[in-house]
Chains A and B, each alone.
Chain A
Amino acid sequence: MNLYDVPDVRPLPRSRRDADVAMLVRLAEESAEPRRLLPFAPARLGRHRRTRLRLAFAAAAAATVSVAAAAGVLTLDTGQAMGSPALPEPLSFTHGSHDSAVAVLLDAANAQATTTPGMGPITYAKTRNYALQVDVADHTATTTVETTVREVWVSHGSGMAKTARQNTTRSGVPVGSPTKETTDMHWQDNNSDLPTAAAPLRAALLGAAPTGGDTAFVLAQAIMSSLAQGTTTAAQTAALYRVLATMPGVFDAGAVTDNAGRAGRAVGIQTGYFDAGATCAAVSGAVSSQEMQTALADHGALGVGTTYLVLDPSTGQPLQIESLDTPNAPCGLRLPAHPTIEQYSLILETGQVSKTGATVS
């Protein structure tokens, strides 16, 4: 095919040019008069709104501490190391049937189909993410915990994000100060062009995956990752649930209360293997590829990563995505020998809003 053999570009119809220029000039004139309404929200926030957002982050941080304290987990404001590790406990997941999980997901998808996701052209999401991190300094690796609170406003795949972070040791002691709230005016939202029909969505999620790999893991990870952003529309969320329901490995994980205290229903699916053995082959890289394969061939050294989706059974809204490593954490993290949360994301608020900076609550 010759891509150069295409029709010539014709001039824009004059009436259209005139109408467009008149509209654009008027739009620019209106922007110069702040008291008048704009068709779209201004891209920058005023000082008063930034102050409000700082307060919102402070409130969120306080909520983090209170929820964590209630659960006996993280304590962000302590100045002393605690005697026992403060890693959060996994939610109380069970291992139920596949059929039950399918029913939960399809009910949630149907509930999402009837959900009114707010009004306005901007998608808003507020999330809180907890994740294990490995910091390396002075040739020593230290496992820390990072908590991130983020608000995003996106439209057409891009927008603004406000982020605040706090690192702690696994005993809950803060590492440095909380990061200053940062604003990213070029935030990219990977969910914006997700299809809303199951077949093309599945293909899109697998699009970049190597064909020889385990596509079930790739697909499950991609679904959970998309949901954890909080920016999927109701139709996209429903489609993601429907694709997840087609996966043979999905299982019912029972009724749980998420880390924000909300009642939910959980489903789980395996999302990977890792080296949980004493050889630490996959992390240290100090052994040959052959030795690593031998170590991983020993099932006693293999860990299983499972990701759980907690959803609101009445609305179908995703509430929390939690990734759990069992029987232990990956070997290089040197954490106590029991199931370990690799990360969880709480979707605290989500919906359509009228302008950047607005919230759904």
Chain B
Amino acid sequence: MDSSPKKRTLSRKSSRSGEHSGDLQSGDTGLFLNSVLENIPDMIFVKDARHLRFVRFNKAGEELLGIPATEMIGKNDYDFFPKQEADFFTRKDRAVLKDGRMVDIPEEPIHTKHKGVRYLHTKKIPILDERGNPQFLLGISEDITEKKKAAETLRKSHEELESRVEQRTGELQHINQALRDSEERYRTVLAALMEGVVLINAKGRILAANPSAERILGLSKDQIMSRSYKDPLWGTVHEDGSTSVEEFFTARSLRTGESYVNAVTGLRRSDGRLIWLMGNTQPLFRPNEAAPYAVVASFFDITDRKEMEAQIQKLNAELEQKVQHRTAELIAANKELESFSYSVSHDLRAPLRAIEGFAGILMEDHFKKLDEEGRRLLSVIRQNARHMSQLIDDLLNFARIGRQNLTRQTIDVLELVHSVIEELSHYDSQEKPEIVIQSALPAAPGDTVLLRQVFLNLLSNAFKFTRHQEKPRIEIGFQKQGPETVYYIRDNGVGFDMQYADKLFGVFQRLHSVKEFEGTGVGLAIVQRIIHRHGGRIWAESKLDGGASFYFTLPPTANV
């Protein structure tokens, strides 16, 4: 389009010739052209071909350069512009004029008076005379500074955008990779977990389930994920027997936004088996939202434990029942025993009293009618009746000690021993034995009444069996054996043969004849029973005619 019109000329003469004037009159043409020239927004200038001095300069040029046309006319580029710029303009001008063809300079800088450096898009056109010699140079310059700036800004912002996009893309790729890595890690962890883990959204849809969840629930991942958490197929059962699915811990957590720990719920598996889960929930929240958007539930199968608990409970209940049954039996037996001993004490004694009493009356009223032998026989009857009465008393006493409750307190053994000895001294008319009491006798835990009975029986035995000694001696003391305190009562009486030691504590067991030493053989049985009821032990050591020693312990914590 810029192919140079070689034959074009610009002269007043030719322009006035009206060759291209069209409708315009030749006189008007100059005026018209001038008007165009002055009002066109581009800078237009004309230089003479020989000296390249401005011959014409339009208004737009004046405005751009900030120099009036009157100043420009007759001067050249070196008068206004830096040498480098002027050289460039001149070189282009010469080239145009030399070649006789238009040159398009897309961009050239120019120093202006007020606007600084501006950029121009300039076309330079040679104007030739009739002979084809260059006469003028026509320049048309468009100020492209703003356009250039806009383009530059556009380019810059484009570049910036491009680089930001690139950077963002990089970041996203990085994040994506990190997410993928982290997801992979969690997936691995989830897959390895023994606990079942499911993710449930706010609508109750199950979004994810790990392999353990599949195993525990007995369902494939797809089956799990096809069910809502409210699906009746779960067959939810709570420990109290209720079946509300709304109370399932996942449902509860979604509803309340709270997390739960160790919640227990039963589920009916599709194979019909009831399994028990213990689970935790963690609701998930988005920032600034009050309701959770999802909940993570983890759980494990505690069915075995539940079943064991139930088994234990059942066994306990059975045991309890057995104990109750046995207790009832024992109570009944005890009652029976009590009424038995009540009967014994009343009904057996009445006939004895009659035998003894009427034998007594016979002796009293008919004394003179009886000979010596008759009286002896009567007295044997009376003696035996009395002895049997004593046996009944002792037996009942023995039975009572087995039933009686223990009232445990700390007992001052030393004081107890002194008081028992004093009591015995009142009754016994024998030669007073020498009594040695270890003064540091430690206190013992026990029932006062019963322990008094122990010392009474043991000491009265000691009195009894030393009766025939020349210098009777009784010693009461204790020994420390490890953590235990062993009390002992030692005498220098007749003693007994150790081969019968096991019979010593039996009921009605006697190692001496009644003739030798009176008694029913219940005293030591009672002593043993009391010591055993206190959780202690009792044993004896002796030699025939070498005295006897009785030892017993009273543990601080005894099972009664």
Whether A and B are associated in the same complex: the answer reads no
Chain A interface residues toward B at CB < 8 A: none
